[in-house]
Amino acid sequence: MTFMITKDGPAPQLGPEIDRLNGLVHALEDIRRGRHPGGDTLAACPKLQHWEVIQRPDPSLTGIMFNHPRIGDGRPGLTTGLWVLAPSLGYARTLSRFYALGKPAAGSGYDAR
């Protein structure tokens, strides 16, 4: 994401992106320490069915969304940049949030859990 800064002084428009990045850093720190999201966390996350990794130019996931805050259930969607993919643990972490992973897309090269 690029922000255009046109004048000297505070740039409050950076606040939401800083919050999002801080959330990602916190999640990455937890994963590094072996604290992966548990069942309760994943149950509250959007779920991707028939997912696969794509390049946008950064790796992302695409699939059928469920429980996403802005994409209707059963509709195709595309995530923000992919930071952690843990199919055997049933989750992915993108820039914005965790995703619970359902079945991967046929032919994606990822085995179903």
The first and second tokens of residue 102, run together, are 């359902």
Q: Tell me the torsion sign for CA atoms 64, 108, 102, 59.
A: negative
Cα–Cα dist 15/21, whole Å? 10
Cα–Cα dist 32/28, whole Å? 6
Per-residue model confidence as pLDDT tens digits over 16-28: 999 999 999 999 9
Sites in the chain below the pLDDT cut of 70: 1-2, 111-113
The first and second tokens of residue 21, run together, are 């990045």
